Structure 1
Amino acid sequence: MNSDLNRPLGQNGKRPDPKSDKTPAVRWLLPSAAIVCVLGLASLVTYTSHQGFRRPVPEPPKPQIAEAAPATIPPPVPAHDTKSQPGNIVTAPEGGPKVIVVGDPTRRAQDPRTAHIPEPDMLEQSPQGPLPIIAPDGRRPLDIYARPWSGARGARVAIVIGGLGLSQTGSQQAIQTLPPEVTLAFSPEGNSLLRWMQAARQDGHEVLMQIPLEPYDYPRVNPGRNTLTVDASPAGTLENLHRTMGRITNYTGVMNYMGARFTAEPEALSTVIQDIAKRGLLYLDDGTSARSKADNVAAQQGAPFAAADLLIDASQDRGAILKKLDELERIARAKGTAIATGSAFDVTVEAVTSWANEAKARGVEIVPVSALVRDPEKG
């Protein structure tokens, strides 16, 4: 029986041809396949438009550069490192190249823990004893042995108490009682000066060395052994100067002990201040002689210089000393700075200690004398 007879009639009344018969599923798949082909062709065109039909040429490998080992840089040499060579030149291990550490010598200072020990490259061994000198790298005793201070503006006062070493109990009392901001000066006639200097430096004090200079009515009024006199030769003057300077170390400068006649003679004074400047020290005039030419001579020699405004204990009375200290504060508030000198009498030490603590509360800064010098090197 012919199977075509079993096919249903179409809408036109004819049986469909089996070769052209397409079911609905087949009719749906044909358009879908066409869409897929179109999208695939579009993707191929897009790819080839960017990449071409060839594989991209690989980039040539970068040359390999051997990485050098980092150079070993020695750490900066601290100011208190006594093992460093002069000029801050540090030698690398096994004979390597030398590295020069560049710095500002005036911004260095001793480590407070070793402030009583002298810097070996700042000492000259002489027949008169160890003398201070400027180090090969330019460091000066004035800078290295100076006590630090805040550097702030405002009323600043320096107080210098001299005569250390004359009395054992008085020296001990002054070192232990006075605030560490107070500068201490050692008498050329004192005893055990090296021991007292070390104690003062360990307690934070800046120190000076007093130099005996010829007063009027000399020798009836006698500052003591090794006094510098107007009539001495320059060589004799320097010998006596160095004998006194060689008694201690670690000081920032010198100040006169008496010497009204000597300081009034520019020629004699020039020999002293020239040597002081050459050694990187300051010169402090105690301000007791109106005839002193120290200011002019120091300016001519390019020496760091300061002059005291007041002597606070000409009268050894507590009330009178406190009045002088109040006057010192008025001067400092008027012109910014002021310097006072005194001696290590018990009454002076007690009055200065009491006044200094109150002055700090009023905003007055007690500074070492080195902070108030006129220093040509610092402009």
Structure 2
Amino acid sequence: ARPAEVYAQKSGAAQRPDAPRIALIVGGLGISASTTAEALSKLPGPVTLAFAPYGNDLESNVSRARARGHEVLMQIPMEPFDYPDNDPGPQTLLSSLSGEQNIDRLQWLMSRFQGYVGVMNFMGARFSASEQSIAPVLREIAKRGLIYVDDGASPRSLASQIAGANRTAFAKADIVVDAVPTTAEIDKALVRLETIARERGSAVAYASALPVTVERVARWSKTLAGRGVALVPVTAVALKPKSS
């Protein structure tokens, strides 16, 4: 069985199967102990948590997240357009490197902790716009039985097309919830997210682990079931159900 299935959490089976579904990913965890602790204590299990491959106590924080019912993603640092002024971190995947060199970096990053269902980009507007760069990475991810999530921040990302061609299990964020990190704008984005889910049947969103975001998402999540919307782990929208 692939890791994406082994480490998947059960999605809210009690919900009506036809309920609109929302997968929400909160990222940037693992570096700050206080930010990570706050997210773990306040966010409900169906919220997917994305950890950076740097930081102390990664294994124990990821284990704690999974014990609380969260699916986990690893955020892989990828080259932005303004690199190296804007540097995502050690072992960043770069468009100037060969496919083989980037796979070496990817393997180093992916060995930082275990228990994740897939990986998602951290930055990477330049890297994900280059087919030559992103395609070998997506092939490697598919080969390992993982899902790939695009945070939706770069309109030039080719990940969606390449994942489709490679049959990589894939999800892309429809919106970034805290692109403007104020209470009012986060609340507006969450309303928009529900609208997308109702129109399409499902929606995916990304948010950072800022205190204001965690607080608004935690509050909002308690009201969803009353509106007939299911909050689900990311594999519930990224993994295609096996045909019986």
The TM tier, using the shorter chain, reads: over 0.9
Pick the aligned partner of 2:39 from 168, 174, 182.
174
Identity %: 44
Superposition RMSD in Å: 1.4
SS at match of 2:26: strand
Code of the aligned partner of 1:358: T
- Partners of 1:283 and 1:305 within 8 A in 2: yes
- Partners of 1:309 and 1:338 within 8 A in 2: yes
Structure showing greater Rg = 1
Pick the aligned partner of 2:168 from 296, 303, 324.
303
TM-score (norm 1): 0.62
Change (3 A) 1:377 1:271: farther
Code of the aligned partner of 1:140: R
SS at match of 2:75: strand
Code of the aligned partner of 2:195: R
Q: Deviations over 1:206-255 (max 9, x none)?
A: 00000000000100011000100001012210111011111111110000
SS at match of 2:74: strand
1:265 and 2:130 correspond: yes
Partner residue in 2 for 1:371: 236
1:156 and 2:21 correspond: yes
Q: CA deviation at 1:376?
A: 8.7
TM-score (norm 2): 0.95
Q: Whose RCO is larger (CA < 8 A, sep 6+)?
A: 2
Q: CA deviation at 1:191?
A: 2.7
Code of the aligned partner of 2:73: L
- Partners of 2:53 and 2:113 within 8 A in 1: no
SS at match of 1:261: helix
Partner residue in 1 for 2:188: 323
1:208 and 2:70 correspond: no
Unaligned runs of 5+ in 1: 1-138
Code of the aligned partner of 2:7: Y
Aligned length: 241
Q: Deviations over 1:314-370 (max 9, x none)?
A: 111111111100100000011110011011111110000000111121111000010
1:288 and 2:150 correspond: no
Partner residue in 2 for 1:359: 224
Partner residue in 1 for 2:112: 247
Partner residue in 2 for 1:140: 2
- Partners of 1:304 and 1:376 within 8 A in 2: no
Unaligned runs of 5+ in 2: none
Runs in 1 of length 4+ with deviation above 6 angstroms? none
Q: CA deviation at 1:377?
A: 6.2
Partner residue in 2 for 1:87: none
SS at match of 1:284: strand
